[in-house]
Structure 1
Amino acid sequence: MKHYDAIIIGAGQAGMPLARSISKKGLKVALIEKRAIGGTCINDGCSPTKTMVASARVAHLVSRASDFGVYVDGYRVDQKKVKSRKNHIVELFRGGAEKALEKAENVDIIMGQAVLKDKRTVEVQRETGEVFELKADKIFIDTGSEPDIPEVDGLESVPYLDSTSIMELEETPEHLIILGGGYIGLEFGQMFRRFGSNVTIMDVAPRLVPKEDKDVCEEIARIFNEENIATVFDVKVTRVAYSQEEITLFYEGDSGAAEIKGSHLLISTGRKPSTASLGLEETGVKLTDRGHIWIDGSYQTSVDGIYALGDVAGSPPFTHMAYHDAHLVFQQIYEGVNLDPNGRVVPYCVFIDPQLARIGLNEQQAKEKGMDYKIGKFLMRHAGRALEVDETNGFFKVLVDPGSKKILGATVLSIDGGEVMAVLQMAMVGGVTYDKISNLPIAHPTLAESLNNLMGQIK
């Protein structure tokens, strides 16, 4: 039985950098991965979806080329080519990740299913049937999350898609029904509408992305309506059926019982932590009420010497936060630097078009907390750069503290919104007040220049 200083289960965006950091201290690391190096982000999350979003945006721009004085006689979407391009990017990123790990000294990459046997022992089950055990002083769990498929009558007999399998389509759906109006559903909905599908998004919630402010939801709904993406809210799906290559959803809505038919069905009702096959019950590792692995402020689980990080431990479900978890874990355990993960300001970006980017608090969160705040809002249809490139949907919105004048949070629904949001994030971290930004000379004509106007709207 081979002994390591650390065993890391899961070669995702927390597991890989943690393995490299630990190995640089001259410590021996076993990195166990059951599926593919790179985790969800590289293989079926960020990289492939954003590659396909880029293809969909090109299709959208071609469709409105005449708005710019350019006339295209005709175009078509080759779904096989879209998939091929996506696969190439995935292989490129995965290959880069594999090479980086292979170059790292003291790291053994082991492919197989990891099962905890006790607080120092991990069993590895290979697809070949080979089974062996490893021991380590410390064990880190970074197994991420996976699609959470709801229990719906008849669903097991329907060839439904999830956020991974939909990217393997080689045909453009005639009518794609999406169950779930969250971030994943929005990205795929707009994407496939631009590829040429009829799209209907259905959700039990009263509106799209209900965690965002009402005006943000309304603007996204308007944009989707302009692109002829149908939305149905406040519905409960009661049954699903499949016959003659057609899927039927039976549901209860405001007007009573109804049904909808489509050629394809995407289930995007959320994700759940990947813990089922880890054998946690053998070691006594506790879970939270939501199924995440419970951890303390140092990422240690309820069992001494076993740690968890990333999505599986309930961190904000974004690649960059898992990567940051790896940094904090390493600093705390191997460098003796105590960094509090609860003090982080969490950024994220949803790659609909225009992008939806958030940092810090939004208005409804500030109200729930009973906070005193001021708001600034600037519409993109008044922004010079947005007008020049004819991308005038959306707006900038910022919340500030009336006393300190510091930024509490911002929502950027705009072309390249994620890039603009990062500027506001740095202002928040650096304590730059909104009045300083309002008078700052920012290069013209850029999107960031609109931050002057945004801060001038605060009242």
Structure 2
Amino acid sequence: MKKYDAVIIGAGQSGMPLAKKISAKGLKVALIEKRVIGGTCINDGCSPTKTMVASARVAHLVGRAGDYGVNVKEFSIDQKTIKARKNHIVNTFRGGAIKGLEKAENIDIILGKATIKGSNSIIIVREGQNDLEIKGDKIFINTGSSPFIPEIEGLKGTPYLTSTSIMELEETPRHLIILGGGYIGLEFGQMFNRFGSKITIIDKAPRLVPKEDKDVCEEISKIFAEDEITSHLDTSVTKINFENNQFKVHLEGKSGTKTVEGTHLLVATGRKPNSNDLGLEPLGVNLSKKGHIAVNDIFETSVPNIYALGDVAGSPPFTHMAYNDAHIAFRSIYEGDKDISSKDRLLPYCVFIDPQLARIGINEQEAIKKNIPYKIGKFFMKHAGRALETDETSGFFKVIVDPESKQILGATILSLDGGEVMAVLQMAMVGKVTYDKIQNLPIAHPTLAESLNSLMMQIK
């Protein structure tokens, strides 16, 4: 039985960098993966979806080329080519990830399904091979998450789509019904709308992306309505039928009952942690009510020498946060950093609708809930020079600041390239640059970032 210094279950965006960091110290690492190297991000998350979003944006710009004085007689969508381009990017990124791991010394990549049998023993079931048992001084779990499918009468057994399977379509849906008005539902809804599909979004919440401020949600709803995307909010799905290649979704809301019919159905109602079948409960590893592995600020579980990282541990479900989990765990465990922790770390994220929705720190509704004193500044893109020049004037910048210290507490950027602008404010927050210093800072003209001057001048 082979013994390792560290066994990592799951080659995702925590597992891969952690394996390389540990192996670089001359320690032996086993990296176990039951599906494909790279995790959700590379294979069916960030990389493929943003590749398809790029195709959708091109379709959108070509469709309004006349606004820019460019006359395009006609164009069509080739869903097979879009899929092939997506697959090429996935294969390229996955291949790069595999090469990076193979270059590293002291890493054994083992393909198979892992079950923990003791505090340091793992059984791996391998297809076409005998089961393998290994031991590890420390065990790290990075098994990620998968689409959550709700219990709805009639749904089971229908050819519904998930955020993974929808990217395998080789035809453009005539009418795509989406269950879920969160980030995943919005990205796919706008994407396929631009490919030519009729889109209907259904959600129990009273507004789209309810974690965002009300004015942000209202602006996104306005943008989607202008694109003729239909939203049924505050609405429950009571039953689903599938007959003659057609979905019939039965709805119940404040205005009564109704049905919506469509050719395709995407279930985008969230994700669940992949914590089942790992053998955790007999070991005494604690789980949350939602199935996340309970960890402390340096990702230790309730059992010594077993750790969990990324989505499965309830970390914010973003690649960059999973990567940061690996950094924190490594520094704490292998470099003895007593100060590093996941507590109170800044959370940046970007939703790749158009315009992009980017967030850093707290928003206004969180400040109110936590009784934090604040001032806000808000600057609309319809007044921004760069946005006017590119004719992309939807959205706004919004910043939350401390009235006493003048420190930036958070920002929401809903604009063209919003994620890039958000990163500038993130660095200002880390560097403790006060908002008044940004007011008169000379920022290159004409750029989107230049509008940060105007944003800070709106603080009241």
User: How is 1:101-180 mapped onto 2 (pairs within 5 angstroms)?
Assistant: 101-128=101-128, 130-180=130-180
User: How is 1:329-348 mapped onto 2 (pairs within 5 angstroms)?
Assistant: 329-338=329-338, 339-348=340-349
Q: Tell me which amino acid in the other structure corresponds to 2:423.
A: A
The match for 1:441 is 442
The match for 2:47 is 47
**Separation in structure 2 between the aligned mates of residue 205 and residue 297 of structure 1, nearest angstrom:** 31
C-alpha displacement at 1:50, in angstroms? 0.1
**Separation in structure 2 between the aligned mates of residue 174 and residue 253 of structure 1, nearest angstrom:** 25
Deviation by residue 1:317-369 (Cα, 9 ceiling, x = unmatched): 10000000000000000000030211201000000000000000000000000
**Separation in structure 2 between the aligned mates of residue 127 and residue 197 of structure 1, nearest angstrom:** 40
Whether 2:199 is the aligned partner of 1:199: answer yes
Q: Tell me which amino acid in the other structure corresponds to 1:208.
A: L
> Which SS does the other structure have where 1:181 is aligned?
coil
The match for 2:11 is 11
User: How is 1:1-400 mapped onto 2 (pairs within 5 angstroms)?
Assistant: 1-128=1-128, 130-338=130-338, 339-400=340-401
Aligned residues: 459
Q: Which runs of 5+ in 2 are unaligned?
A: none
Is the contact between residue 187 and residue 352 of structure 1 (CA under 8 Å) also seen in structure 2? yes
C-alpha displacement at 1:253, in angstroms? 1.2
Q: Tell me which amino acid in the other structure corresponds to 1:427.
A: A
**Separation in structure 2 between the aligned mates of residue 163 and residue 191 of structure 1, nearest angstrom:** 12
C-alpha displacement at 1:127, in angstroms? 2.1
**Separation in structure 2 between the aligned mates of residue 429 and residue 100 of structure 1, nearest angstrom:** 30
Is the contact between residue 116 and residue 282 of structure 1 (CA under 8 Å) also seen in structure 2? no
C-alpha displacement at 1:41, in angstroms? 0.1
Deviation by residue 1:43-67 (Cα, 9 ceiling, x = unmatched): 0000000000000000000000000
Is the contact between residue 147 and residue 272 of structure 1 (CA under 8 Å) also seen in structure 2? yes
C-alpha displacement at 1:169, in angstroms? 0.2
Deviation by residue 1:110-138 (Cα, 9 ceiling, x = unmatched): 00001111110011011225311110100
Query: Normalising by structure 2, what TM-score?
Result: 0.99
Q: Tell me which amino acid in the other structure corresponds to 1:270.
A: G
C-alpha displacement at 1:290, in angstroms? 2.1
**Separation in structure 2 between the aligned mates of residue 117 and residue 393 of structure 1, nearest angstrom:** 54
The match for 1:419 is 420
**Separation in structure 1 between the aligned mates of residue 300 and residue 210 of structure 2, nearest angstrom:** 32
C-alpha displacement at 1:178, in angstroms? 0.1
**Separation in structure 2 between the aligned mates of residue 423 and residue 19 of structure 1, nearest angstrom:** 31
> Which SS does the other structure have where 1:216 is aligned?
helix
Higher alpha-carbon deviation: 280-289 or 324-333: 280-289
Q: Tell me which amino acid in the other structure corresponds to 2:456.
A: M
Is the contact between residue 157 and residue 241 of structure 1 (CA under 8 Å) also seen in structure 2? no
C-alpha displacement at 1:33, in angstroms? 0.3
Is the contact between residue 34 and residue 113 of structure 1 (CA under 8 Å) also seen in structure 2? yes
Q: Tell me which amino acid in the other structure corresponds to 1:328.
A: I
The match for 2:429 is 428
**Separation in structure 1 between the aligned mates of residue 182 and residue 341 of structure 2, nearest angstrom:** 29
Is the contact between residue 157 and residue 242 of structure 1 (CA under 8 Å) also seen in structure 2? no
Higher alpha-carbon deviation: 250-259 or 100-109: 250-259
Is the contact between residue 285 and residue 301 of structure 1 (CA under 8 Å) also seen in structure 2? yes
C-alpha displacement at 1:145, in angstroms? 0.7
Is the contact between residue 204 and residue 233 of structure 1 (CA under 8 Å) also seen in structure 2? yes
**Separation in structure 2 between the aligned mates of residue 296 and residue 54 of structure 1, nearest angstrom:** 38
> Which SS does the other structure have where 2:143 is aligned?
coil
**Separation in structure 2 between the aligned mates of residue 290 and residue 244 of structure 1, nearest angstrom:** 37
Deviation by residue 1:257-304 (Cα, 9 ceiling, x = unmatched): 211100000000000111112111231211012211011222111111
Identity, in percent, stands at 69
Q: Tell me which amino acid in the other structure corresponds to 1:304.
A: P
> Which SS does the other structure have where 1:342 is aligned?
coil
**Separation in structure 1 between the aligned mates of residue 126 and residue 261 of structure 2, nearest angstrom:** 42
Whether 2:459 is the aligned partner of 1:454: answer no
Query: Normalising by structure 1, what TM-score?
Result: 0.99
Higher alpha-carbon deviation: 274-283 or 343-352: 274-283
Q: Tell me which amino acid in the other structure corresponds to 1:361.
A: I
**Separation in structure 1 between the aligned mates of residue 226 and residue 379 of structure 2, nearest angstrom:** 21
Off by >4 Å, runs of 4+ in structure 1 = none
**Separation in structure 2 between the aligned mates of residue 91 and residue 438 of structure 1, nearest angstrom:** 45
Deviation by residue 1:386-431 (Cα, 9 ceiling, x = unmatched): 0000010000000000000000000000000000000000000000
> Which SS does the other structure have where 1:188 is aligned?
helix
C-alpha displacement at 1:193, in angstroms? 0.2
Whether 2:405 is the aligned partner of 1:404: answer yes
Q: Tell me which amino acid in the other structure corresponds to 2:94.
A: R
**Separation in structure 2 between the aligned mates of residue 367 and residue 298 of structure 1, nearest angstrom:** 29
> Which SS does the other structure have where 2:447 is aligned?
coil
Q: Which runs of 5+ in 1 are unaligned?
A: none
**Separation in structure 2 between the aligned mates of residue 185 and residue 297 of structure 1, nearest angstrom:** 31
Is the contact between residue 201 and residue 230 of structure 1 (CA under 8 Å) also seen in structure 2? yes
